[in-house]
Structure 1
Amino acid sequence: MAELATLDDPKARAVNERHGDDHGVNLGKLRALAKRLKIHQELARELWATGDSAARLLAILICRPKAFTRDELDVMLREARTPKVHDWLVTYVVRKSPYAEQLRVAWSADPDPVVASAGWALTTARVARKPDGLDLAGLLDVIEAEMKDAPARLQWAMNHCLAQIGIDHAGYRARAVDVGERLEVLKDYPTPPGCTSPFAPAWIAEMVRRQPG
Protein backbone atom coordinates (compact mmCIF):
# COMPACT_ATOMS: atom_id res chain seq x y z
CA MET A 1 0.00 0.00 0.00
CA ALA A 2 2.89 2.33 0.74
CA GLU A 3 4.40 1.61 -2.67
CA LEU A 4 1.06 2.28 -4.37
CA ALA A 5 0.88 5.60 -2.52
CA THR A 6 4.24 6.64 -4.00
CA LEU A 7 2.91 5.90 -7.50
CA ASP A 8 -0.12 8.17 -7.10
CA ASP A 9 0.01 11.01 -9.64
CA PRO A 10 -2.33 13.99 -9.09
CA LYS A 11 -2.61 14.60 -12.86
CA ALA A 12 -3.55 10.97 -13.50
CA ARG A 13 -6.04 11.14 -10.63
CA ALA A 14 -7.69 14.23 -12.14
CA VAL A 15 -8.06 12.49 -15.51
CA ASN A 16 -9.41 9.33 -13.92
CA GLU A 17 -11.92 11.22 -11.82
CA ARG A 18 -13.48 12.62 -14.98
CA HIS A 19 -14.27 9.01 -15.92
CA GLY A 20 -15.66 8.09 -12.51
CA ASP A 21 -12.50 6.42 -11.18
CA ASP A 22 -10.87 7.35 -7.90
CA HIS A 23 -7.20 6.43 -8.19
CA GLY A 24 -4.12 8.17 -9.57
CA VAL A 25 -1.76 5.30 -10.38
CA ASN A 26 -0.48 5.02 -13.94
CA LEU A 27 -1.71 1.66 -15.22
CA GLY A 28 1.60 0.88 -16.89
CA LYS A 29 3.37 1.24 -13.55
CA LEU A 30 0.65 -0.82 -11.89
CA ARG A 31 1.19 -3.62 -14.41
CA ALA A 32 4.94 -3.47 -13.84
CA LEU A 33 4.39 -3.87 -10.10
CA ALA A 34 2.07 -6.82 -10.74
CA LYS A 35 4.68 -8.44 -12.98
CA ARG A 36 7.21 -8.18 -10.18
CA LEU A 37 4.84 -9.63 -7.58
CA LYS A 38 3.65 -12.46 -9.87
CA ILE A 39 0.55 -14.51 -8.98
CA HIS A 40 -0.13 -14.18 -5.26
CA GLN A 41 -3.66 -15.14 -4.30
CA GLU A 42 -3.40 -14.42 -0.58
CA LEU A 43 -1.99 -10.94 -1.18
CA ALA A 44 -4.67 -10.35 -3.82
CA ARG A 45 -7.39 -11.06 -1.29
CA GLU A 46 -5.78 -8.72 1.25
CA LEU A 47 -5.41 -5.94 -1.32
CA TRP A 48 -9.04 -6.31 -2.38
CA ALA A 49 -10.18 -6.11 1.24
CA THR A 50 -8.62 -2.64 1.62
CA GLY A 51 -11.36 -1.16 -0.58
CA ASP A 52 -8.76 1.04 -2.29
CA SER A 53 -9.25 1.18 -6.06
CA ALA A 54 -5.56 1.04 -7.01
CA ALA A 55 -5.08 -1.87 -4.60
CA ARG A 56 -8.06 -3.65 -6.10
CA LEU A 57 -6.72 -3.20 -9.63
CA LEU A 58 -3.43 -4.68 -8.49
CA ALA A 59 -5.29 -7.53 -6.79
CA ILE A 60 -7.03 -8.33 -10.07
CA LEU A 61 -3.68 -8.53 -11.86
CA ILE A 62 -2.04 -10.91 -9.35
CA CYS A 63 -4.98 -13.11 -8.38
CA ARG A 64 -5.82 -16.63 -9.53
CA PRO A 65 -9.29 -16.26 -11.13
CA LYS A 66 -10.30 -19.89 -10.68
CA ALA A 67 -9.57 -19.71 -6.93
CA PHE A 68 -12.67 -17.60 -6.22
CA THR A 69 -16.04 -19.16 -5.50
CA ARG A 70 -19.19 -18.05 -7.28
CA ASP A 71 -20.41 -16.24 -4.17
CA GLU A 72 -17.07 -14.47 -3.71
CA LEU A 73 -17.19 -13.17 -7.28
CA ASP A 74 -20.76 -11.99 -6.81
CA VAL A 75 -19.81 -10.05 -3.69
CA MET A 76 -16.70 -8.60 -5.34
CA LEU A 77 -18.68 -7.43 -8.37
CA ARG A 78 -21.22 -5.67 -6.16
CA GLU A 79 -18.37 -3.97 -4.27
CA ALA A 80 -16.68 -2.82 -7.49
CA ARG A 81 -18.46 0.47 -8.05
CA THR A 82 -15.82 2.39 -10.02
CA PRO A 83 -15.74 1.71 -13.77
CA LYS A 84 -12.12 0.54 -14.10
CA VAL A 85 -12.27 -1.91 -11.17
CA HIS A 86 -15.63 -3.18 -12.42
CA ASP A 87 -14.39 -3.64 -16.01
CA TRP A 88 -11.11 -5.31 -15.03
CA LEU A 89 -12.85 -7.65 -12.60
CA VAL A 90 -15.23 -8.85 -15.32
CA THR A 91 -12.59 -9.04 -18.05
CA TYR A 92 -9.61 -10.48 -16.19
CA VAL A 93 -11.25 -12.54 -13.44
CA VAL A 94 -14.90 -13.45 -13.99
CA ARG A 95 -14.50 -14.37 -17.66
CA LYS A 96 -11.77 -16.86 -16.67
CA SER A 97 -13.84 -18.37 -13.87
CA PRO A 98 -15.73 -21.66 -14.16
CA TYR A 99 -18.75 -19.70 -12.88
CA ALA A 100 -18.73 -17.14 -15.71
CA GLU A 101 -21.83 -18.50 -17.44
CA GLN A 102 -23.83 -18.85 -14.21
CA LEU A 103 -22.97 -15.30 -13.26
CA ARG A 104 -23.70 -13.99 -16.77
CA VAL A 105 -27.26 -15.30 -16.56
CA ALA A 106 -27.82 -14.15 -12.97
CA TRP A 107 -26.30 -10.69 -13.36
CA SER A 108 -28.07 -9.90 -16.65
CA ALA A 109 -31.41 -10.08 -14.83
CA ASP A 110 -30.25 -8.22 -11.71
CA PRO A 111 -32.25 -5.12 -10.71
CA ASP A 112 -29.03 -3.20 -10.01
CA PRO A 113 -28.07 -1.66 -13.40
CA VAL A 114 -24.34 -1.72 -12.63
CA VAL A 115 -24.51 -5.43 -11.84
CA ALA A 116 -26.67 -6.01 -14.91
CA SER A 117 -24.07 -4.23 -17.04
CA ALA A 118 -21.55 -6.91 -15.99
CA GLY A 119 -23.96 -9.57 -17.19
CA TRP A 120 -24.25 -7.84 -20.54
CA ALA A 121 -20.45 -7.51 -20.79
CA LEU A 122 -20.17 -11.27 -20.33
CA THR A 123 -22.90 -11.77 -22.93
CA THR A 124 -20.99 -9.58 -25.39
CA ALA A 125 -17.90 -11.73 -24.88
CA ARG A 126 -19.95 -14.83 -25.68
CA VAL A 127 -21.47 -13.18 -28.77
CA ALA A 128 -17.93 -12.70 -30.05
CA ARG A 129 -16.31 -15.98 -29.00
CA LYS A 130 -18.87 -18.62 -28.00
CA PRO A 131 -22.22 -17.72 -29.54
CA ASP A 132 -23.55 -21.30 -29.70
CA GLY A 133 -26.59 -21.58 -27.48
CA LEU A 134 -27.23 -17.83 -27.29
CA ASP A 135 -30.60 -16.53 -28.48
CA LEU A 136 -29.33 -13.63 -30.57
CA ALA A 137 -32.81 -12.68 -31.76
CA GLY A 138 -33.99 -12.67 -28.16
CA LEU A 139 -31.07 -10.45 -27.13
CA LEU A 140 -32.00 -7.99 -29.87
CA ASP A 141 -35.59 -8.02 -28.59
CA VAL A 142 -34.44 -7.07 -25.08
CA ILE A 143 -32.04 -4.41 -26.38
CA GLU A 144 -34.76 -2.92 -28.57
CA ALA A 145 -37.21 -2.77 -25.65
CA GLU A 146 -34.90 -1.63 -22.85
CA MET A 147 -31.70 0.07 -24.05
CA LYS A 148 -33.17 3.50 -24.83
CA ASP A 149 -34.18 4.17 -21.22
CA ALA A 150 -31.47 2.17 -19.43
CA PRO A 151 -29.08 3.92 -16.97
CA ALA A 152 -25.79 4.98 -18.55
CA ARG A 153 -23.53 2.06 -17.56
CA LEU A 154 -26.14 -0.53 -18.50
CA GLN A 155 -27.01 1.31 -21.69
CA TRP A 156 -23.35 1.34 -22.73
CA ALA A 157 -23.03 -2.41 -22.12
CA MET A 158 -26.23 -3.21 -24.03
CA ASN A 159 -25.09 -1.00 -26.91
CA HIS A 160 -21.78 -2.87 -27.06
CA CYS A 161 -23.69 -6.14 -27.28
CA LEU A 162 -25.88 -4.73 -30.06
CA ALA A 163 -22.82 -3.68 -32.04
CA GLN A 164 -21.07 -7.02 -31.45
CA ILE A 165 -24.06 -8.94 -32.78
CA GLY A 166 -24.06 -6.81 -35.92
CA ILE A 167 -20.31 -7.11 -36.39
CA ASP A 168 -19.96 -10.85 -35.89
CA HIS A 169 -23.25 -12.27 -37.15
CA ALA A 170 -24.15 -11.30 -40.71
CA GLY A 171 -27.61 -12.87 -40.45
CA TYR A 172 -28.56 -10.41 -37.70
CA ARG A 173 -26.62 -7.41 -39.03
CA ALA A 174 -29.49 -5.63 -40.77
CA ARG A 175 -31.70 -5.87 -37.71
CA ALA A 176 -28.91 -4.72 -35.37
CA VAL A 177 -28.30 -1.68 -37.58
CA ASP A 178 -32.05 -0.96 -37.75
CA VAL A 179 -32.40 -1.15 -33.95
CA GLY A 180 -29.45 1.19 -33.54
CA GLU A 181 -30.77 3.68 -36.08
CA ARG A 182 -34.23 3.80 -34.53
CA LEU A 183 -33.07 4.10 -30.90
CA GLU A 184 -30.27 6.59 -31.72
CA VAL A 185 -28.41 5.67 -28.53
CA LEU A 186 -24.97 7.38 -28.44
CA LYS A 187 -25.59 8.85 -31.90
CA ASP A 188 -24.17 12.20 -30.84
CA TYR A 189 -21.42 10.83 -28.58
CA PRO A 190 -18.29 12.99 -29.00
CA THR A 191 -15.75 10.88 -30.87
CA PRO A 192 -12.15 12.07 -31.38
CA PRO A 193 -10.77 12.10 -34.95
CA GLY A 194 -9.51 8.69 -36.00
CA CYS A 195 -11.65 6.86 -33.42
CA THR A 196 -14.73 4.76 -34.11
CA SER A 197 -18.06 6.12 -32.91
CA PRO A 198 -19.88 4.00 -30.30
CA PHE A 199 -23.13 4.64 -32.22
CA ALA A 200 -23.94 1.04 -33.15
CA PRO A 201 -24.68 1.49 -36.90
CA ALA A 202 -21.44 3.41 -37.41
CA TRP A 203 -19.48 0.99 -35.22
CA ILE A 204 -20.85 -2.02 -37.09
CA ALA A 205 -20.13 -0.50 -40.49
CA GLU A 206 -16.54 0.35 -39.59
CA MET A 207 -15.72 -3.03 -38.05
CA VAL A 208 -17.31 -4.93 -40.96
CA ARG A 209 -15.31 -2.78 -43.38
CA ARG A 210 -12.11 -3.91 -41.66
CA GLN A 211 -12.96 -7.61 -41.89
CA PRO A 212 -10.82 -9.55 -44.39
CA GLY A 213 -12.48 -10.66 -47.58
Structure 2
Amino acid sequence: MAGTTVAEVLAELAALEDPKARAVNEKHGDDHGVNLGKLRAIAKRLKTQQALAVELWATGDSAARLLALLICRPKAFERDALDSMLREARTPKVHDWLVTYVVKKSPYAEELRLAWIADPDPVVASAGWALTTDRVAKHPQDLDLTALLDVIEARMKDAPDRLQWAMNHCLAQIGIEHAAYRDRAIGIGERLGVLKDYPTPKGCTSPYAPVWIDEMVRRRTAIK
Protein backbone atom coordinates (compact mmCIF):
# COMPACT_ATOMS: atom_id res chain seq x y z
CA MET A 1 0.00 0.00 0.00
CA ALA A 2 1.31 3.40 -0.99
CA GLY A 3 2.38 5.77 1.76
CA THR A 4 3.97 3.07 3.90
CA THR A 5 7.18 4.31 5.51
CA VAL A 6 10.46 2.53 6.02
CA ALA A 7 10.03 2.83 9.78
CA GLU A 8 6.65 1.11 9.61
CA VAL A 9 8.04 -1.73 7.50
CA LEU A 10 11.05 -2.22 9.78
CA ALA A 11 8.75 -2.35 12.80
CA GLU A 12 6.58 -4.97 11.11
CA LEU A 13 9.62 -7.06 10.21
CA ALA A 14 10.96 -6.77 13.75
CA ALA A 15 7.64 -8.03 15.10
CA LEU A 16 8.00 -11.13 12.90
CA GLU A 17 11.43 -12.00 14.29
CA ASP A 18 11.43 -15.71 15.12
CA PRO A 19 14.40 -17.25 16.98
CA LYS A 20 13.75 -20.65 15.37
CA ALA A 21 13.68 -19.14 11.88
CA ARG A 22 16.89 -17.23 12.65
CA ALA A 23 18.61 -20.42 13.82
CA VAL A 24 17.68 -22.21 10.59
CA ASN A 25 18.72 -19.25 8.45
CA GLU A 26 22.05 -18.86 10.22
CA LYS A 27 22.91 -22.46 9.38
CA HIS A 28 22.80 -21.36 5.74
CA GLY A 29 24.82 -18.20 6.28
CA ASP A 30 21.88 -15.81 6.48
CA ASP A 31 21.37 -13.29 9.26
CA HIS A 32 17.64 -12.67 9.66
CA GLY A 33 14.82 -14.33 11.57
CA VAL A 34 11.79 -13.62 9.41
CA ASN A 35 9.81 -16.47 7.91
CA LEU A 36 10.00 -16.04 4.14
CA GLY A 37 6.34 -16.91 3.64
CA LYS A 38 5.34 -14.07 5.95
CA LEU A 39 7.81 -11.76 4.22
CA ARG A 40 6.26 -12.60 0.85
CA ALA A 41 2.82 -11.82 2.28
CA ILE A 42 4.02 -8.33 3.20
CA ALA A 43 5.38 -7.88 -0.33
CA LYS A 44 2.06 -8.97 -1.81
CA ARG A 45 0.27 -6.36 0.28
CA LEU A 46 2.72 -3.56 -0.52
CA LYS A 47 2.87 -4.40 -4.24
CA THR A 48 5.48 -2.67 -6.42
CA GLN A 49 7.00 0.41 -4.79
CA GLN A 50 10.38 1.29 -6.25
CA ALA A 51 11.12 4.27 -4.01
CA LEU A 52 10.34 2.28 -0.86
CA ALA A 53 12.42 -0.61 -2.16
CA VAL A 54 15.45 1.66 -2.58
CA GLU A 55 15.03 2.98 0.95
CA LEU A 56 14.65 -0.51 2.40
CA TRP A 57 17.78 -1.68 0.62
CA ALA A 58 19.71 1.27 2.03
CA THR A 59 18.99 0.14 5.60
CA GLY A 60 21.42 -2.76 5.19
CA ASP A 61 19.03 -5.05 7.08
CA SER A 62 18.78 -8.45 5.38
CA ALA A 63 15.05 -8.95 5.89
CA ALA A 64 14.40 -5.42 4.63
CA ARG A 65 16.61 -6.07 1.62
CA LEU A 66 14.78 -9.30 0.79
CA LEU A 67 11.49 -7.41 0.92
CA ALA A 68 12.98 -4.65 -1.23
CA LEU A 69 13.85 -7.20 -3.91
CA LEU A 70 10.24 -8.40 -3.98
CA ILE A 71 8.62 -4.96 -4.33
CA CYS A 72 11.15 -3.22 -6.56
CA ARG A 73 10.95 -2.57 -10.29
CA PRO A 74 13.95 -4.50 -11.70
CA LYS A 75 14.28 -2.48 -14.89
CA ALA A 76 14.44 0.77 -12.91
CA PHE A 77 17.96 0.08 -11.65
CA GLU A 78 20.96 1.36 -13.60
CA ARG A 79 23.88 -0.93 -14.28
CA ASP A 80 26.20 0.61 -11.70
CA ALA A 81 23.51 0.44 -9.03
CA LEU A 82 23.05 -3.28 -9.63
CA ASP A 83 26.80 -3.82 -9.51
CA SER A 84 27.03 -2.00 -6.19
CA MET A 85 24.07 -3.89 -4.78
CA LEU A 86 25.59 -7.22 -5.75
CA ARG A 87 28.87 -6.35 -4.04
CA GLU A 88 26.96 -5.40 -0.89
CA ALA A 89 24.87 -8.59 -0.91
CA ARG A 90 27.11 -10.88 1.11
CA THR A 91 24.49 -13.20 2.63
CA PRO A 92 23.39 -16.10 0.39
CA LYS A 93 19.65 -15.43 0.30
CA VAL A 94 19.96 -11.71 -0.48
CA HIS A 95 22.59 -12.51 -3.11
CA ASP A 96 20.42 -15.21 -4.68
CA TRP A 97 17.22 -13.16 -4.73
CA LEU A 98 19.02 -10.14 -6.17
CA VAL A 99 20.33 -12.20 -9.08
CA THR A 100 17.14 -14.22 -9.59
CA TYR A 101 14.43 -11.60 -9.10
CA VAL A 102 16.17 -8.44 -10.25
CA VAL A 103 19.34 -8.82 -12.32
CA LYS A 104 17.93 -11.53 -14.60
CA LYS A 105 15.09 -9.16 -15.52
CA SER A 106 17.39 -6.18 -16.10
CA PRO A 107 18.44 -4.93 -19.53
CA TYR A 108 22.00 -5.01 -18.13
CA ALA A 109 21.92 -8.73 -17.31
CA GLU A 110 24.26 -9.83 -20.08
CA GLU A 111 26.68 -6.96 -19.56
CA LEU A 112 26.86 -7.75 -15.86
CA ARG A 113 27.18 -11.48 -16.52
CA LEU A 114 30.30 -10.92 -18.56
CA ALA A 115 31.77 -8.52 -16.01
CA TRP A 116 30.99 -10.62 -12.96
CA ILE A 117 32.05 -14.02 -14.23
CA ALA A 118 35.61 -12.73 -14.56
CA ASP A 119 35.63 -10.83 -11.25
CA PRO A 120 38.39 -11.76 -8.77
CA ASP A 121 35.87 -11.72 -5.90
CA PRO A 122 34.49 -15.30 -5.81
CA VAL A 123 31.11 -14.17 -4.46
CA VAL A 124 30.70 -11.72 -7.33
CA ALA A 125 31.96 -14.32 -9.79
CA SER A 126 29.34 -16.77 -8.52
CA ALA A 127 26.65 -14.32 -9.65
CA GLY A 128 28.21 -14.29 -13.11
CA TRP A 129 28.06 -18.08 -13.21
CA ALA A 130 24.45 -18.06 -12.01
CA LEU A 131 23.53 -15.76 -14.89
CA THR A 132 25.49 -18.00 -17.26
CA THR A 133 23.59 -21.06 -16.05
CA ASP A 134 20.35 -19.24 -16.82
CA ARG A 135 21.56 -18.51 -20.33
CA VAL A 136 22.68 -22.13 -20.84
CA ALA A 137 19.11 -23.19 -20.15
CA LYS A 138 17.14 -20.42 -21.85
CA HIS A 139 19.31 -18.51 -24.36
CA PRO A 140 22.37 -20.60 -25.25
CA GLN A 141 22.90 -19.03 -28.65
CA ASP A 142 26.34 -17.40 -28.95
CA LEU A 143 27.58 -19.08 -25.77
CA ASP A 144 30.85 -20.99 -26.17
CA LEU A 145 29.94 -24.10 -24.21
CA THR A 146 33.30 -25.73 -24.89
CA ALA A 147 35.10 -22.75 -23.37
CA LEU A 148 32.80 -22.79 -20.36
CA LEU A 149 33.53 -26.46 -19.78
CA ASP A 150 37.26 -25.75 -20.12
CA VAL A 151 37.06 -23.13 -17.35
CA ILE A 152 34.96 -25.37 -15.13
CA GLU A 153 37.35 -28.27 -15.59
CA ALA A 154 40.35 -26.11 -14.73
CA ARG A 155 38.97 -24.08 -11.82
CA MET A 156 35.95 -25.67 -10.15
CA LYS A 157 37.81 -28.19 -7.99
CA ASP A 158 39.67 -25.51 -6.01
CA ALA A 159 37.05 -22.74 -6.13
CA PRO A 160 35.60 -21.32 -2.87
CA ASP A 161 32.33 -22.93 -1.83
CA ARG A 162 29.80 -20.48 -3.25
CA LEU A 163 31.66 -20.11 -6.54
CA GLN A 164 32.16 -23.86 -6.75
CA TRP A 165 28.45 -24.43 -6.25
CA ALA A 166 27.57 -21.98 -9.03
CA MET A 167 30.08 -23.51 -11.45
CA ASN A 168 28.83 -26.99 -10.64
CA HIS A 169 25.26 -25.88 -11.39
CA CYS A 170 26.42 -24.56 -14.76
CA LEU A 171 28.23 -27.85 -15.48
CA ALA A 172 25.09 -29.83 -14.70
CA GLN A 173 22.90 -27.48 -16.76
CA ILE A 174 25.15 -27.88 -19.79
CA GLY A 175 24.91 -31.66 -19.48
CA ILE A 176 21.15 -31.59 -18.99
CA GLU A 177 20.30 -29.17 -21.79
CA HIS A 178 22.85 -30.01 -24.46
CA ALA A 179 23.19 -33.65 -25.49
CA ALA A 180 26.28 -32.97 -27.60
CA TYR A 181 28.18 -31.89 -24.47
CA ARG A 182 26.61 -34.37 -22.05
CA ASP A 183 29.35 -36.98 -22.01
CA ARG A 184 32.04 -34.38 -21.46
CA ALA A 185 30.05 -32.70 -18.66
CA ILE A 186 29.55 -36.04 -16.91
CA GLY A 187 33.22 -36.90 -17.39
CA ILE A 188 34.34 -33.62 -15.84
CA GLY A 189 32.04 -34.22 -12.90
CA GLU A 190 33.40 -37.72 -12.39
CA ARG A 191 37.03 -36.65 -12.58
CA LEU A 192 36.66 -33.70 -10.22
CA GLY A 193 34.28 -35.41 -7.77
CA VAL A 194 32.88 -32.07 -6.60
CA LEU A 195 29.90 -32.55 -4.23
CA LYS A 196 30.03 -36.32 -4.74
CA ASP A 197 29.57 -36.89 -1.02
CA TYR A 198 27.14 -34.02 -0.43
CA PRO A 199 24.45 -35.13 2.05
CA THR A 200 21.23 -35.33 0.06
CA PRO A 201 17.83 -35.79 1.76
CA LYS A 202 15.75 -38.76 0.69
CA GLY A 203 13.65 -37.90 -2.34
CA CYS A 204 15.97 -35.09 -3.47
CA THR A 205 18.43 -35.15 -6.35
CA SER A 206 22.13 -35.06 -5.53
CA PRO A 207 24.02 -31.93 -6.64
CA TYR A 208 26.85 -34.20 -7.82
CA ALA A 209 26.80 -33.33 -11.52
CA PRO A 210 26.87 -36.85 -13.05
CA VAL A 211 23.94 -37.97 -10.89
CA TRP A 212 22.10 -34.68 -11.37
CA ILE A 213 22.47 -34.83 -15.16
CA ASP A 214 21.41 -38.47 -15.43
CA GLU A 215 18.37 -37.96 -13.21
CA MET A 216 17.09 -34.86 -15.02
CA VAL A 217 17.59 -36.43 -18.45
CA ARG A 218 15.80 -39.58 -17.23
CA ARG A 219 12.84 -37.52 -16.02
CA ARG A 220 12.56 -35.64 -19.28
CA THR A 221 12.74 -38.86 -21.27
CA ALA A 222 10.06 -40.44 -19.08
CA ILE A 223 7.74 -37.49 -19.67
CA LYS A 224 8.11 -37.84 -23.43
Deviation for aligned residue 1:132? 0.3
Moved over 4 A (4+): none
Please give the per-residue CA displacement for 1:53-112, whole angstroms capped at 9, x wherever unaligned.
Answer: 000000000000000000000000000000000000000000000000000000000000
- How many percent identity over aligned positions? 81
Structure 2 CA distance for aligned equivalents of residues 196 and 8 of structure 1:
32
Give the match's secondary structure for 2:215.
Answer: helix
CA distance in 1, matches of 2:179, 2:32: 41
**Deviation by residue 1:112-162 (Cα, 9 ceiling, x = unmatched):** 000000000000000000000100011000000000000000000000000
The partner residue of 1:63 within 66, 72, 94 is 72
Cα deviation, residue 6, structure 1: 0.6
Is 2:161 the partner of 1:175?
no
* 1:95-134 paired onto structure 2 within 5 Å: 95-134=104-143
**Secondary structure, counterpart of 2:98 in structure 1:** helix
TM-score by length of 1: 1.00
Is 2:34 aligned against 1:33? no
1:90 counterpart (82, 91, 99): 99
CA distance in 1, matches of 2:25, 2:114: 31
Q: Distance in 1 between matches of 2:24 and 2:35?
A: 11
Under a length normalisation based on structure 2, what TM-score does the superposition of the two structures give?
A: 0.95
**How many Å separate the matches in 2 of 1:177 and 1:139?**
14
Which ranges of structure 1 fall in alignment gaps of 5 or more residues?
A: none
Q: 1:136 and 1:54 mapped to 2: Cα distance?
A: 37
Provide the residue aligned with 1:190 in structure 2. 199
Alpha-carbon distance between aligned partners in 1 of 2:111 and 2:154, rounded to the nearest angstrom: 24
- State the 1:8 CA deviation: 1.0
Question: What amino acid maps onto 1:87 in structure 2?
Answer: D
Structure 1 CA distance for aligned equivalents of residues 116 and 17 of structure 2: 33
Residue identity opposite 1:8 in structure 2: E
Aligned to 1:6: 15
